[in-house]
């Protein structure tokens, strides 16, 4: 499987107040849910771009009404990058190891005196989608 490229969110885990559990829902259903605020829905527009530089970039579309000066300031602050015409808001290392894809979650600490391995597996599903954090991603 080729992981390089642009991936979009197909499903996301959301909290179901009726069952008090996390459930997986299609992005379209979440976006249509009027009980969820637009701010909470913003991340569903994210794209995850796996590059051969060893990083996966979390990106969002640049708002059409965002002034260029504001974009430039945001980039200059070091908090964001322009990645393939999108606003990169986070980047994490990724690698292929023993035929599996892994990413550096940045998790630190220990459990029962053992250091936590920050490298987490990226599960590849039978349909070619991948599980990344609480999302199922499909190649765009």
Q: Which tokens go with 43?
A: 């991340």
Structure letter (DSSP) for residue 18 = T
Residue 3 CB contacts under 8 Å (≥ 6 apart), including other chains: 50, 94, 96, 101, 122, 130
Q: Answer for the pair 77, 87: CB distance below 8 angstroms, yes or no.
A: no
Contact 101, 125 (CB under 8 A): no
| 0.75 exceeded by pTM | yes
Mean pLDDT of the chain: 93
β-pairing verdict for 5-16 and 135-139? antiparallel
Overall domain count for the chain: 1
Could you list the residue range(s) of the whole structural domain that residue 55 is in? 5-139
Q: pLDDT tens digits for 63-113?
A: 889 899 999 998 999 888 999 999 999 999 999 999 999 999 988 888 888
């Amino acid at each position: 499987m080729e992981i390089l490229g642009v991936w979009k969110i197909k499903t996301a885990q959301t909290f179901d107040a009726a069952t008090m559990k996390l459930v997986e829902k299609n992005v379209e259903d979440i976006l249509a849910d009027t009980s969820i605020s637009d701010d909470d829905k913003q991340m569903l527009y994210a794209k995850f771009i796996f590059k051969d530089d060893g990083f996966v970039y979390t990106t969002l579309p640049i708002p059409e009404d965002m002034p260029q000066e504001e974009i430039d300031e945001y980039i200059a602050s070091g908090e964001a990058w322009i990645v393939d015409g999108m606003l990169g808001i986070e980047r994490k290392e990724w690698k292929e190891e023993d035929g599996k894809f892994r990413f550096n979650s940045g998790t630190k600490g220990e459990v029962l005196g053992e250091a936590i391995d920050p490298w987490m597996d990226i599960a590849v599903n039978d349909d070619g989608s991948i599980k990344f954090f609480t999302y199922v991603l499909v190649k765009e």
